[in-house]
A and B are shown apart, each in its own frame.
Chain A
Amino acid sequence: MKSSVITFPGSNCDRDMDVALKKFGFKNKMVWHDDQELPKSDLIVLPGGFSYGDYLRCGSMASKSKIMKSVINFAKSGGLVMGICNGFQILVEAGLVPGVLLRNKYLEFICKNVFVKIENKENSYFKNLDKNVFEFHIAHNEGNYFCTNEQLKEIEDNNQIAIYYCDHDGNLDNENNPNGSIRNIAGIFNKEKNVLGMMPHPERMIDQSLSGEDGAIFFKNLINNIK
């Protein structure tokens, strides 16, 4: 399985993602933001970091870079595109998934483990996962998901909410919403479910010495789904 990770100026989880993808069997290529063409890929990943310093709005300037035209075409033709953290912000700014990501509610960067719930498994990312609650890691300053009421209705009607912040048992409550996101949203799909944006970093949880191993479960499942 072939994957590509895009490096934007200021990306800083690009290597981590490369390590994770390779560890679970992807043949990964790094792609420079200024390139025009994507290598042949089964999965495109927009990694975390601070593209363009997160200046202006997170992801705004990266969403205008050259390679994004190809990424948008790839997504429109049904290809799998996953944005993690800053990658999610870029997807939002590029209009590939709905909504926006605002500053965290308490205006603080948050780096910690959280629980998330995955309900919608009719997609290439989560199909065949045999549990619903995962422990994932977040590290962001702008993960406060927001959209208008009409958008929210549309998102819910189309089953586009990919991941929710929750407690240990999968209950959604305010206390376990780290950043103030609407409906505890931690990740979202496009209508067709081939584009996924999420704040948590599964690539930071790929062996038992790190913050946990639930990221490993995600990647193993992902490559099996794509095969």
Chain B
Amino acid sequence: MLVNEKIAIEHGLKSDEYKKICKLLKRIPNFTELGIFSAMWNEHCSYKSSRIHLKKLPTKGKNVIQGPGENAGIIDVDDGDAIVFKIESHNHPSFIEPYQGAATGVGGIMRDVFTMGARPIANLNSIHFGSPQHKKTKNLLRGVVHGIGGYGNCMGVPTVGGQTSFDSSYNGNILVNAMTLGLVKKNKIFYSKAAGLNKPVIYVGSKTGRDGIHGASMASASFDDKIEEKKPTVQVGDPFTEKLLLEACLELMAGDSIIAIQDMGAAGLTSSSIEMASKGNLGIEIDLNKVPCRETKMTPYEIMLSESQERMLIVLENGKEELAKKIFDKWNLDFAVIGKTTNTKNIELFFDKKQVAKIPVNTLVENSPMYDRKWKKSKLPKKIKFEKSKLKNLKILQVLKKVLSSPNICNKEWIWRQYDHTVMGDTIQKPGGDSGVVRIHGTDKAVAATVDSSATYCWAHPLTGGKQVVCETWRNLISVGAKPIAITNCLNFGSPEKEENMGEFVECVQGIGEACKYLEYPVVSGNVSFYNQTKEIGIKPTPAIGGVGLIKNYKKMITMNFKEAGNQVLVIGKTEGHIDQSLFARLVLDEKNGPPPEVNLFNEKNNGETLLNLIEKNYIKSAHDVSLGGIITAISKMCIKGNKGIELTIPKFLINEIEYFFAEDQGRYLIEVSKEDLKNVIKILDKNSVHYDLIGKIIDNDMIINQKTKVTIDELKSYNTNWLKEYMV
């Protein structure tokens, strides 16, 4: 087929971009070449709208071994151990085919991690759905959860945490973000940078089929009425083959045969081969007839753009082919030498003995478009004047009941019980806590991981929202006794071509950057997902942040369940009564405006570090950060999980009960301390100028508020657990 501008535009390229291609090549590309350009230059692979902003994120730190730019980020966790981790979106495919979309999302992120030599040790996920009343929500939720479980469970990697939210802005565009952590020895890390001439290029894994051709372009196109037409581009996951691929790759990696390795993710063979060549400043030559194909008569175009799953590309040392082949044969996987590295700095493809493409690698990578798109700054919304008298008339228990049973607060066990969270025998904190925690096998160390996002805050004020999410992950790590080390981020936004959406992106990224810099909590990997919208309606800006921290001695891990009657409960951090943008304001007052709670990075850091210090000294019996739903929601969860009650006496404050209990001021934690330790704890808090309120004492069965209002913990529990279960019946 002859290429012209119209065909280029059908490939998702812009007219200017097509002209640029012709100029770079000094000719019109052929059809295969055009396919390659369109895949490499689309938003998903080229980051053309986001690159200039992402550059501003802090990516260095004393624990960072590998920052963004590789398949995943890597941090040092002492003793020669390193943790490889990354989060990635699979939003569009999951909306079209929830089971396979979510499953292949999980498969893809695990490959990113084991391609670096790491054995995956924990999975997490951040999933966002439309309003529960929307007709598609239930099936999407069920399909996505089954898909995540279906893939992760079969791989034998525990899913230890995550986040689930509902908001009507996702009605036509759900979010499915999957995160994986892997463990590797520092001196056994593998990279994607090819090196050396005439080295064999090896294809391993599954065969190539016509799956997801143009999947990467789909991820960069917003949905319109013609979704149906895009349907066949969804891939089917094969977790069994991926498990074999994992074992085979790790077996080969134990030796010294591999020069570079890269999984075939978005844009399959195209992006993997080009990335390896580009990083190594080399050329690559591929004989497409050698690529193992599942279907007959596949064209070079199809082979290059197929997104069949469970495949890897490897550059081997010369002479290691036999040894490598033996391993892949043992695991019953395809293995083929399909090409070699060259000094031409071109990607050259052959098919039926003819050259079918020849493109300078740099035109695909360095010369890819980069845009500084127009963006609109957001103003901080004005504070809402809530009527105090109206607040005072609310019955606290009724409000609490409503909050605890609301879709975004309710217990998510229906979800995570379907994920194998205990396989590998090292899960010491299951889902349902503040972070998932797994031991580093055979050591005293453990890694904690959490994934969070707060789209409502980001929507109200992106800069504050961006900071807030980072801080929330920081708090979730500290709450389990882990020292936060680094984050990965998945930036889910609407169209970058719209100034509002681009503005949300730019300012969220700025907020994330500021928080990370201040907290010395760098970004080591991430992913951008734009065009999350149906027709003209974009989602709320949803940066999902995955935080990872280290617990040096896992026996010091903290959980959030209240432990013992008689112990004292304190709130760390100051409660100002900020209810604008709180769950309470939206749910009970139907108020959607106002600014999000302010983030004070000094307090955030100081409060968090002081709490870690208290944990180190063994003063803390349980801890939980205060987030959505405020203090009383957090306390309720601690009661429910610990099967203990509490007698609450709110400090004599100027603000009223409702504001005190449901405000979402930042930087706060709840801690449980024994009577004997209280004095010492207070001394340390005072010394560090950390604000605290003593708010209650643990008792046996009830929650009692200011000696007058009483509710049993069993009741609280039923409020909290019933909604999702009943919804999913």
In the complex, A121→B149 CA distance in Å? 36
Q: Known contacts A49-B156, A50-B153: does B423 contact A12 (CB below 8 Å)?
A: yes
Q: Which residues of A contact B146 (CB under 8 A)?
A: 108
Q: Known contacts A12-B156, A209-B555: does B422 contact A111 (CB below 8 Å)?
A: yes
A117, CB-defined interface residue at 8 Å: no
Q: Which one of A13-21, A163-171, A189-197 is at the B interface?
A: A13-21
Of B149, B154, B419, which one neighbours A53 at CB under 8 angstroms? B154
Q: Known contacts A50-B240, A209-B428: does B554 contact A109 (CB below 8 Å)?
A: no
B417, CB-defined interface residue at 8 Å: yes
B421 with A111: CB separation less than 8 A = yes
In the complex, A211→B428 CA distance in Å? 8
In the complex, A206→B439 CA distance in Å? 14
A209 with B554: CB separation less than 8 A = yes
Task: Select from chain A the residue with minimum beta-carbon distance to B729.
Answer: A106
In the complex, A211→B423 CA distance in Å? 11
A102, CB-defined interface residue at 8 Å: no
A25, CB-defined interface residue at 8 Å: no
B244 with A9: CB separation less than 8 A = yes
Q: Which residues of B contact A206 (CB under 8 A)?
A: 425
Q: Known contacts A9-B331, A210-B428: does B417 contact A55 (CB below 8 Å)?
A: no
Q: Which residues of A contact B243 (CB under 8 A)?
A: 9-10, 12, 50, 53
Q: Interface 1/0s, chain B 306-350, versus A by CB < 8 A? A: 000000000000000000000000111000000000000000000
B interface bracket (residues with beta carbon within 8 Å of A): 20 to 34
A54, CB-defined interface residue at 8 Å: yes
Q: Which residues of B contact A9 (CB under 8 A)?
A: 240, 243-244, 331-332
A49 nearest CB across to chain B (Å): 6
Q: Which residues of A101-129 have CB atoms within 8 Å of chain B's CB atoms? A: 108-112
Q: Known contacts A13-B423, A209-B428: does B417 contact A50 (CB below 8 Å)?
A: no
Task: Select from chain B the residue with minimum beta-carbon distance to A215.
Answer: B425
Q: Which residues of A contact B588 (CB under 8 A)?
A: none
B462, CB-defined interface residue at 8 Å: no
B597 nearest CB across to chain A (Å): 35
Q: Interface 1/0s, chain A 124-144, versus B by CB < 8 A? A: 000000000000010101000
B421 with A53: CB separation less than 8 A = no
B587, CB-defined interface residue at 8 Å: no
A52, CB-defined interface residue at 8 Å: yes
A175 nearest CB across to chain B (Å): 14
In the complex, A109→B243 CA distance in Å? 19
Q: Which residues of A contact B150 (CB under 8 A)?
A: 109
B75 nearest CB across to chain A (Å): 23
Q: Which residues of A contact B155 (CB under 8 A)?
A: 12
**What total of chain A residues lie within 8 Å of the partner, measured CB to CB?**
31
A203, CB-defined interface residue at 8 Å: yes
B156 with A109: CB separation less than 8 A = no
B427, CB-defined interface residue at 8 Å: yes
In the complex, A10→B364 CA distance in Å? 38
Q: Which residues of B422-436 have CB atoms within 8 Å of chain A's CB atoms? A: 422-425, 427-428, 430
Task: Select from chain A the residue with minimum beta-carbon distance to B243.
Answer: A10
B238 with A53: CB separation less than 8 A = yes
Of A19, A34, A50, which one neighbours B154 at CB under 8 angstroms? A50
A108 with B240: CB separation less than 8 A = no
Number of A-B residue pairs having CB atoms within 8 Å of each other in the complex: 85
Report which residue of B156, B419, B427, B555 has the largest number of chain A beta carbons within 10 angstroms of its beta carbon: B156
A98 nearest CB across to chain B (Å): 27
Task: Select from chain A the residue with minimum beta-carbon distance to B156.
Answer: A12
Q: Which residues of A contact B419 (CB under 8 A)?
A: 109, 111
In the complex, A77→B225 CA distance in Å? 66
Q: Interface 1/0s, chain B 228-241, versus A by CB < 8 A? A: 00000000001111
In the complex, A139→B417 CA distance in Å? 9
Task: Select from chain A the residue with minimum beta-carbon distance to B242.
Answer: A53
Q: Which residues of B404-461 have CB atoms within 8 Å of chain A's CB atoms? A: 416-425, 427-428, 430, 439
B557 nearest CB across to chain A (Å): 8
In the complex, A210→B430 CA distance in Å? 9
A154 nearest CB across to chain B (Å): 33
Q: Interface 1/0s, chain A 41-71, versus B by CB < 8 A? A: 0000000111011110000000000000000
Task: Select from chain A the residue with minimum beta-carbon distance to B439.
Answer: A209
A111 with B239: CB separation less than 8 A = no
Q: Known contacts A109-B153, A139-B420, A209-B554: does B240 contact A52 (CB below 8 Å)?
A: yes
In the complex, A209→B430 CA distance in Å? 11
Q: Which residues of A contact B427 (CB under 8 A)?
A: 210
Q: Which residues of B contact A49 (CB under 8 A)?
A: 156
A53 with B425: CB separation less than 8 A = no
In the complex, A9→B331 CA distance in Å? 7
In the complex, A49→B244 CA distance in Å? 13
Q: Which residues of A contact B554 (CB under 8 A)?
A: 209
Q: Which residues of B118-162 have CB atoms within 8 Å of chain A's CB atoms? A: 146, 149-150, 153-156
Q: Which residues of A196-227 have CB atoms within 8 Å of chain B's CB atoms? A: 201, 203-204, 206, 209-211
A55 with B240: CB separation less than 8 A = yes
A204 with B238: CB separation less than 8 A = no
Q: Which residues of A contact B423 (CB under 8 A)?
A: 12-13, 16, 48, 139, 204
In the complex, A204→B439 CA distance in Å? 13
B149 with A10: CB separation less than 8 A = no
B297 nearest CB across to chain A (Å): 27
Q: Which residues of B contact A16 (CB under 8 A)?
A: 423-425
Q: Which residues of A contact B439 (CB under 8 A)?
A: 209
B662 nearest CB across to chain A (Å): 32
In the complex, A49→B154 CA distance in Å? 7
A210 with B425: CB separation less than 8 A = yes
B225 nearest CB across to chain A (Å): 33
B14 nearest CB across to chain A (Å): 42
A5 nearest CB across to chain B (Å): 14
Q: Known contacts A10-B244, A54-B154: does B417 contact A112 (CB below 8 Å)?
A: yes
A213 nearest CB across to chain B (Å): 13
Q: Which residues of B contact A211 (CB under 8 A)?
A: 422, 430
Of B154, B156, B421, which one neighbours A13 at CB under 8 angstroms? B156
Q: Which residues of B contact A20 (CB under 8 A)?
A: 425
In the complex, A224→B231 CA distance in Å? 59
Q: Known contacts A49-B156, A210-B427, A210-B428: does B240 contact A10 (CB below 8 Å)?
A: yes
In the complex, A203→B427 CA distance in Å? 13
In the complex, A114→B501 CA distance in Å? 48
In the complex, A10→B427 CA distance in Å? 21
B425 with A204: CB separation less than 8 A = yes
Q: Which residues of B contact A209 (CB under 8 A)?
A: 428, 439, 554-555, 557
Report which residue of A50, A111, A204 has the largest number of chain B beta carbons within 10 angstroms of its beta carbon: A111
B422 with A139: CB separation less than 8 A = yes
Task: Select from chain A the residue with minimum beta-carbon distance to B431.
Answer: A111
Q: Which residues of B contact A10 (CB under 8 A)?
A: 154, 240, 243-244
A50 with B422: CB separation less than 8 A = no
Q: Known contacts A111-B419, A112-B417: does B331 contact A19 (CB below 8 Å)?
A: no
In the complex, A20→B428 CA distance in Å? 16
A111 with B417: CB separation less than 8 A = yes
Q: Interface 1/0s, chain B 352-394, versus A by CB < 8 A? A: 0000000000000000000000000000000000000000000
In the complex, A111→B123 CA distance in Å? 15
In the complex, A188→B239 CA distance in Å? 29
A15 with B424: CB separation less than 8 A = yes
In the complex, A12→B427 CA distance in Å? 15
Task: Select from chain A the residue with minimum beta-carbon distance to B241.
Answer: A53
Task: Select from chain A the residue with minimum beta-carbon distance to B246.
Answer: A12
A217 nearest CB across to chain B (Å): 16
> A112-B417, A204-B425, A209-B439 provided; 6 other pairs, C-beta below 8 A?
A10-B154, A10-B243, A19-B425, A110-B418, A204-B423, A209-B555
Which residues of A come within 8 Å of B, CB atoms?
A: 9-10, 12-13, 15-16, 19-20, 34, 48-50, 52-55, 108-112, 137, 139, 141, 201, 203-204, 206, 209-211
Of the A-B pairs whose beta carbons lie under 8 Å apart in the complex, a sample of 11, sorted by A's number, is A9-B332, A10-B244, A12-B154, A12-B156, A13-B423, A49-B156, A53-B238, A55-B240, A108-B146, A111-B421, A206-B425
Smallest CB-CB A-B distances: 3 pairs: A12-B156, A53-B240, A16-B425
